[in-house]
Structure 1
Amino acid sequence: MLDTLGRIWRLTRLAASGPRAWVGLAMAAIVLALIFVELYVDVQMIAWTKRFYDALEAMDAATALRELGVFGALTGASAGINLAQIYLRKLLRLRWRTRLTGAALDSWTKGQAYWHLRPGLSLHGIDNPDQRISQDCDRFVELLLLETLDLLGKIVGLVTYLGILWGLSNFVLQFSAFGLDIAIPRYMVWLAFLYVALASLVTHGLGRPLKSIYFRQERREADFRHALVQVRDNATEIAQSGGETAERRRLNHRFGAIQTNWHRLIGREFVLGLFTQPYWQTILRVPLFFALPAYFAGSVTFGGLMQLSGTFSRVTTSLSWFIFSYKDLAEFAAVAHRLDELFSITRDPAPMPAAPRAITRSHGGAALRVRDLRLATPQGRWLAPVPDREVRPGDRIWISGGSGAGKTTLLAALSGLWRYGSGRIDLPEGRMMVLPQRPHVFAEGLAAAACYPEDPRDIPESRLREVLTRLGLSHRMPDGPLTDRDPAALEGLSLGERQRLALARVLLHRPDWVVLDEATSALDPAAEAHVLALLRHDLPKAAILCVAHRDPVALHPTGRWTLGTDLTTERKSA
């Protein structure tokens, strides 16, 4: 319980903080004030109940008609206050969701947590971060405003209604039981607490498993959505492979997990509903039955009976906040758990315990130097030693080696991502750009893909068109502005075209250090020679490190940096 409250408090501070935080806090204060005003109107409604029903009992038509006008005014005021509350709550929800989502995005992207927390790279991975950032941030703020503001309103209302109930129930309930004469003064007050306390215990006993079921359901739903996104992103490969049956089997498996957990959820909610539904339907009627002894004893008038019944009902409804909110509270706890876990894990991604982390790095030198470097997998398996090397500006280096020798892992270590291994890496001054074999493209259009990670609006369109034309992509350029969002321009891009787009980034941004991780593997030899010649011509002072299975002759003269290929011997010696 305390752990859950701690999570909620940490997330609430994040959502309510930041620039101009006072605006959100002021909006929350206004909403709370409106709740209190609505409470005042409800107290007037309690007083109206006695006057109206006493007028009916006395057959006083004039008073009854006048009270109907009062009823209309009170109802209109209550409706107006409620609408104002709803409007402000939605504005506040958007404001705090924006802040919390921004904090989550910062946590996920800063320090490259999104990379380090991939499966197999960290002790504590994060499942479905997209859902946590998108859906959980919104749901947390929604439930936060719903439960906290309502709880504060219920507390103030409870104090108010108890005061009224205490004054109205100034009579004694007398009866005999087991040969004893029993007298209970103000029995309606004590009965309200006893009635709700027993109901709360039953509710908690029946609904306790809901938190874990809600937690699993969110994960299952996110897994299914992720599988659907994978089908969309790999549509061409799936279609060409005739993989519809396999994909349907995979999707059926994910959806089957949803069904299984959903059955648990509806079963548990049904069990809880067996108690809460009758409780909800009777809580407005039972108070009248409880007050009948006082009416039959002549302690209250008919109007007093209705007033007493209504006040008791309001007290028990306020006390029953826990019962009526139980399902939302269970979901609130599950959402807070998932979201707080995202923040805590991304703050300091835990490394894999079996792998060494003894790579020493320095920055700011004139050259790239690698000394005594040996890389390891996150599971603690050593790769072959990396030969010592010094790379200076303007050098052309071909990084070769058999499959599994650790070429891509070496590039990750050079860029500062890979943490597992031992040895020393001295990183040079200047900007380094790494191009992977399968570059990322974006639905925003051709310009966004070519200019990544910069804003395409910062690059003259004439320059962008020139570079794309030199790389053989003129047929992909639209007639309109390149910066227009045009997902159709990227439809059907081959891997070779994707690689040309990535190479455009090098020509546009002119980095000091270019690292190509099989970045031309999908090009034919003539096309590869052409684009590599462009790099050599346009960036004569840049160092180029090229991972490739064949000699990149267009970069000549090159040095060769060969990683060990006899992995069996290396593993045994390790």
Structure 2
Amino acid sequence: MLDVPASSVLQQLWILIKAMRASPRRAALLFLPMGSVVVIATNAVFQIRLNNWQGALYDALQNHDLGAFGHQLLVFLSLIGVLLLLVVAQAWLTEVGKVRLRGWLTRDLLEEWLKPKRAYLLAFAGETGVNPDQRIHEDARHLTELSVDLGNGLLQASLMLLSFIGVLWILSQQVVFDFGNGAFTIPGYMVWCAIAYASIGSWLAWRIGRPLIGLNAERYAREADFRASLIKVAERSEAVVLYQGENEERVHLDQTFHKVQSLARQLANGIVSLTWVTSGHGWLAMAAPFLIAAPGYFGGQLSLGSLMVAVGAFNQVQYALRWFVDNFSKIADWRATLLRIMALRDELQQIERLHSEQHRIDFYEAPAGSLILESVEAYLPGSSVECAAPEESRIELKASEHVLIEGDSAASKTTFFMSLAGLWPWGDGRIGLPPRADMLFLPERPYFPRGPLRTALAYPADASDYTDAHYADALRTVGLDHLAEDLELAHDWDRRLSLEEQQILGFGRIFLHTPRWVFLNDSLGAVPEKKRAALLAAFVAKLGECTIVSTGGDIGHHFFRRTIHLRHARRSQLKAAAAI
């Protein structure tokens, strides 16, 4: 199972802290921990006073002093009033801290994930690239909540330890051991007993609970797989039903869920084993301080009040020292979640160097109005040997020169299409592209963000960049004028519209953005031939200077002025052919 070295955890934590310090929201983020330090430190002071009050109360009871007893009750009410205010303040700081810390971490991950090309390239990053939504959504929430809870708990335990260890050391002087004719004291006797007791419990908790770290990390990965499988069935339910594939999906989901359940059982067994230590250690702690301080009490050096103060101080020191024992399962969970978050963050920051041992296509900005291909070979997915390349070693395309890219397979054409988009850099050669603002790429299935139709049509531009007249004209041009009344209607448009309507609406973006270059990857394959002809006629009429580069056979050959033939072969064969 996964075992993360402590040094690695500290390095990962330090990376996050440095990123937080560089955030423009750092002031708001740092205010809350500072406030927590003040509140917890003040709470420690009043806990000492409460412990001393306990001694005075028991002395009053032992002496049958009613007046002192009544006075101590009034002191108790004042102490509890202050402690209640501190607890409420700490609860507010804790909950607000969770919200703000999650807000920062989620935005940080989103910023890293949605930098140009990274969301696409992450899919080729192995296990880390699977279900990034789970890490950004659920893992980020879980990590921030655990971090705040554990951070506050560790701070409180540390301050309590520093506050009460001195009290316990002084009281240890009153524990005298009598042996025959001699008597002696052990400096810090009760302190050493508390340290020994907590150390034994901490070692046992670490020994038994260490496997929980790897189990938690694996559980989150399998939970994400199960969630992704459920979402896929829900999104493609129509196809599943048409294929009558409900039983197959049920079997697949059951197998996926079985992995979740198997890990859950292992975790349950591990937590039960850890509970033997934590609970047993806790129950024994109720009697331990009385047994340890008994020689001083029965020897007459400690009054009942002093005994209770010593017991209270011992418990505070022991609870502070056994914080690790009580929170080991949470710490294991926190370390596993931190590992998943940092693995994603590190992968995103390193992704441009993914497969750096392979050759990379060199991209540059071509002179205005042209697209240049120089000895380009695009490696096919999963292979550094097989690739797709044009038969001509150098190709220069000019504006209005509509181009069809043909190949032996859909895979080679799609890979070449992604290379033109700059999303598939693995290969050889150079590609000179027009300015990014002059290009628009249309995949086979267009993407529509959830929201009003105007937002879906304007994507990726801001919907406010265009007027209602612009939207109405674009919809009318592509034959979807009946949707003009739905511009403000919010929907999942990729689910409400048929694939044909989606492709037509995606093509309609061309008339809003008016690019100089349009790249199509079977982008009109679901549109009937008659409608395709009408769309292309409108394109020529309105955007005559725009160039279409298409990898699909959905548009008739007569539309194109030039054809680029791709060859699918081994890299060595292409190099040899180019040398002849």
Bin for the TM-score computed over the shorter chain:
over 0.9
Structure-1 residue corresponding to 2:537: 533
Which residue type is aligned with residue 60 of structure 1? D
Q: Does 2:518 align with 1:511?
A: no
Structure-2 residue corresponding to 1:502: 506
Q: Offset at 1:15?
A: 3.4
SS in 2 for 1:563: strand
Structure-1 residue corresponding to 2:252: 250
CA distance in 1, matches of 2:64, 2:214: 58
Structure-2 residue corresponding to 1:369: 372
CA shift in 2, pair 1:52/1:358, >3 Å: closer
- 2:7 pairs with one of 2, 5, 10: 2
Structure-2 residue corresponding to 1:100: 105
CA shift in 2, pair 1:26/1:385, >3 Å: closer
Which residue type is aligned with residue 426 of structure 1? G
Q: Offset at 1:305?
A: 1.2
Q: Offset at 1:182?
A: 7.7
Q: Offset at 1:495?
A: 0.9
Query: TM-score by structure 2 length?
Result: 0.92
CA distance in 1, matches of 2:225, 2:349: 24
CA shift in 2, pair 1:550/1:85, >3 Å: closer
CA shift in 2, pair 1:238/1:568, >3 Å: farther
Structure-2 residue corresponding to 1:27: 32
Q: Offset at 1:318?
A: 0.8
Tell me the alpha carbon deviations over residues 57-87 of structure 1, each in whole angstroms, 9 at most, x when there is no partner: 1111222122112212212221211111111
SS in 2 for 1:140: helix
Structure-2 residue corresponding to 1:549: 553
Structure-2 residue corresponding to 1:226: 228
CA shift in 2, pair 1:167/1:507, >3 Å: same
Q: Offset at 1:541?
A: 0.8
Q: Offset at 1:573?
A: 7.4
Aligned-pair identity (%): 28
Query: TM-score by structure 1 length?
Result: 0.92
- 342-351 vs 71-80, greater mean Cα deviation: 342-351
Which residue type is aligned with residue 171 of structure 1? Q
Which residue type is aligned with residue 461 of structure 1? D
Structure-2 residue corresponding to 1:171: 174
CA distance in 2, matches of 1:252, 1:15: 41
Which residue type is aligned with residue 56 of structure 2? R
Q: Offset at 1:246?
A: 1.7
Please give the residue correspondences for 1:270-419 in structure 2 after superposition, counting only pairs within 5 Å: 270-349=272-351, 353=355, 356-366=358-368, 367-378=370-381, 379-386=383-390, 387=392, 388-404=394-410, 406-419=412-425
SS in 1 for 2:451: coil
Which residue type is aligned with residue 522 of structure 2? E
Please give the residue correspondences for 1:46-195 in structure 2 after superposition, counting only pairs within 5 Å: 46-118=51-123, 121-122=124-125, 125-174=128-177, 184-195=186-197
CA shift in 2, pair 1:569/1:214, >3 Å: closer
CA distance in 1, matches of 2:307, 2:473: 87
8 Å CA contact retained: 1:55, 1:63: yes
CA shift in 2, pair 1:229/1:15, >3 Å: farther
CA shift in 2, pair 1:196/1:412, >3 Å: same
8 Å CA contact retained: 2:176, 2:185: yes
Tell me the alpha carbon deviations over residues 520-564 of structure 1, each in whole angstroms, 9 at most, x when there is no partner: 1101110110111122222111111122225525x7352222223
Structure-1 residue corresponding to 2:18: 13
Which residue type is aligned with residue 549 of structure 2? L
Q: Does 2:275 align with 1:268?
A: no
CA distance in 2, matches of 1:222, 1:52: 55
CA distance in 1, matches of 2:358, 2:170: 73
SS in 2 for 1:425: strand
CA distance in 2, matches of 1:563, 1:569: 16
Tell me the alpha carbon deviations over residues 264-312 of structure 1, each in whole angstroms, 9 at most, x when there is no partner: 1000110111111121233233212322221111111111111111111
CA shift in 2, pair 1:12/1:569, >3 Å: closer
SS in 1 for 2:99: helix
CA shift in 2, pair 1:175/1:230, >3 Å: farther
Which residue type is aligned with residue 79 of structure 2? L
SS in 2 for 1:285: helix
CA shift in 2, pair 1:86/1:422, >3 Å: same
SS in 2 for 1:385: strand
8 Å CA contact retained: 2:358, 2:384: yes
Structure 1 unaligned residues grouped into runs of 5+? none
Structure-1 residue corresponding to 2:3: none
- 1:486 pairs with one of 491, 496, 507: 491
Structure-2 residue corresponding to 1:433: 440
SS in 2 for 1:426: strand
8 Å CA contact retained: 1:108, 1:346: yes
Structure-1 residue corresponding to 2:456: 449
Structure 2 unaligned residues grouped into runs of 5+? 1-5
Which residue type is aligned with residue 141 of structure 2? D
SS in 2 for 1:439: coil
8 Å CA contact retained: 2:57, 2:305: yes
SS in 2 for 1:117: helix
CA RMSD of aligned residues (A): 2.6
SS in 2 for 1:143: helix
Structure-2 residue corresponding to 1:559: 562
CA distance in 1, matches of 2:548, 2:102: 44
- 2:429 pairs with one of 419, 423, 429: 423
CA distance in 2, matches of 1:123, 1:307: 58
Would you identify which runs of 4 or more consecutive aligned residues in structure 1 move more than 6 Å?
565-569, 571-574
CA shift in 2, pair 1:141/1:234, >3 Å: same
8 Å CA contact retained: 1:123, 1:352: no
